[in-house]
Chains A and B, each alone.
Chain A
């Protein structure tokens, strides 16, 4: 007979256990990292969208966030640094029944993979991108990211960062994304709602999640513990769905404007392919333009 205590632990289940690779736990993320709750919110959102989990795929690049693909019990692909979006584009276009999520870090999606992000948004490929922004390169030990705030310290900015950071929601919106939102790792319910909306929505959807990194970002910037960081992000957060995504860049101490800034309908890449080719293709032959010249 097990004693009370062990019985209790046996009954302790993660609410998302069914959708996680429990045989891979414990995960590699530091305590107080935002990724655990973001992952939970993600799975919750997909569940709320009421889609067949067999038809949901997750593609990640490389980094702490890139490890998400390894923990979800879905068809999941841990690819190369920065290239999750084109991989996901191929996956989605070759099986258009799939719901494809890209979950990766700020460095992965906006530095090395920045070009793919803006072009996927421009094409309005029907994929959903979740960018976990911890303002730093977490996995490699705290180097500067394209999101690191001006004057913040990182291991490659020992005198403080002198580069202007990207405003991620502004970039995604400018490039043509159909859906653009920003939340922090503390906005669990809102996050899940956004994931649900993205799952249901056609076109390129982009979600930025502000996430605490105590191990390298806070340590370099006297940010205290992970909990302190979270509290700070919470206090600085204001929700304003009407904000212009171009006008809400982030810095070290200012407001973190959250919300769903863009939610519009624009023909997707594949819709345009079909409307653009269908009628014309019927008139073509196997060769070029006229069948007499045969090539």
Chain B
């Protein structure tokens, strides 16, 4: 495989940084469909993949795009698609297939104002629960939220690593601001990046079972064309990949799909904290919103309130443990997000007796500093 040789310091758009990260991570198949504010990723991939002997296909829709990246992954390629709300809605069924078949791939959602066609050219964070629960059924997902073009680059590389390691579709949840803003991005030489590859089986074909593994583990992979002649399906299946319609088999499979993420959450979760240890109030945010909470925190600190800052870099799996720990020490949390209360529900669930105050905004704008300071004051005054 020809390596990406673009490295150095650049002043580039977030979406371009994302595409370059995918290439650096080894992505050589992109299937997508144009949509604002994500199209720059597809455009960049269309330009760059032929330089690296990769495959770019603009499909007839997002359903095909999602299905194609699963197929490409089973042929051994690292694959990616990108879209925004309406397109992600179309992908959901095949995202479930990717989870069920345990297919590594990356889905970038450059979030815009929603529901429906919403605000195509403006931002939002209202697909957070869609990423978590959008496809039907019970499963675990991984979703990462970049706050800047640089982090967009870093987290896209990370998303590929996690998808390869845990064998599932991983979401990069950016938004129209992070996608379209231009900032300094350092792209390291490919050899200096930490790149994780899926674990291929070392077994002989006659000894290989495609889904044989422990209750919380990830099975070893075999790609098409290598003589393993395995079967895989979206139906409930056993170690052989064969459909088995029993309660026992279903319970075992669904639990493993969840356990392989849930029981390894500590290794997956990334959070950034400032002044949380002795805080009375902790402001929780993620992605672009985490850049607008600082003025409010500063004002309230000056007023003498001990305000901490907690940024979710990984939103799914949710850092339950950490929120519980902090909840026992603080008055409460202020959750700032560009939706009417999604990740806030998770904070609330883990906060127990601590207060949780939401600062909602449906997107297309940002909450006012005063709204956030007011919320901080309210939480400080509570109890």
Contacts and interface: CB of A to CB of B under 8 A. Distances in A.
Interface of A: 21, 23-24, 53-55, 57, 59, 69-70, 73-80, 83, 85-95, 97-98, 115-116, 119, 273, 277, 281, 284, 286, 288, 294-295
A77 B47 contact: no
A176 to B, nearest CB: 14
Contact of A90 (B61, B63, B72): B72
Interface string B230-247: 111111000010110000
Interface stretch (B49-57, B171-179, B305-313, B332-340): B49-57
B27 to A, nearest CB: 11
Contacts of A93: 29, 55, 57, 68, 72, 75
Interface stretch (B113-121, B220-228, B263-271): B220-228
Given A90-B69, A98-B225, 4 more contacts: A77-B232, A79-B94, A86-B67, A94-B72
Contacts of B227: 54
Nearest to A118: B60
Contacts of A115: 60-61, 64
A77 B73 CA distance: 12
Contacts of A98: 75, 224-225
A295 B16 CA distance: 9
Interface of B is mostly: mixed
B6 interface: yes
Contacts of A74: 229
Contact of B225 (A69, A86, A90, A97): A97
A52 B324 CA distance: 57
B12 A90 contact: no
B77 interface: yes
Contact of A76 (B16, B79, B231): B231
A273 B50 contact: yes
B59 interface: yes
Given A98-B225, A115-B61, A295-B16, A87 B47 contact: no
B71 A119 contact: no
Nearest to A24: B242
Interface string B194-235: 000000000000000000000000000001111111111111
B231 A90 contact: no
A54 B60 contact: no
A92 B50 CA distance: 17
A93 B242 CA distance: 26
Contact of B64 (A23, A94, A119, A277): A119
Contacts of A88: 71
Nearest to A84: B67
A76 B234 CA distance: 12
Contacts of A57: 224-225
Interface string B61-104: 10111011111111111010000000000000110010001000
Given A86-B31, A277-B50, A286 B68 contact: no
A286 to B, nearest CB: 4
Contacts of B226: 54
B10 interface: yes
Nearest 6 CB-CB pairs, A to B? A90-B71, A90-B68, A94-B75, A86-B64, A78-B233, A90-B72
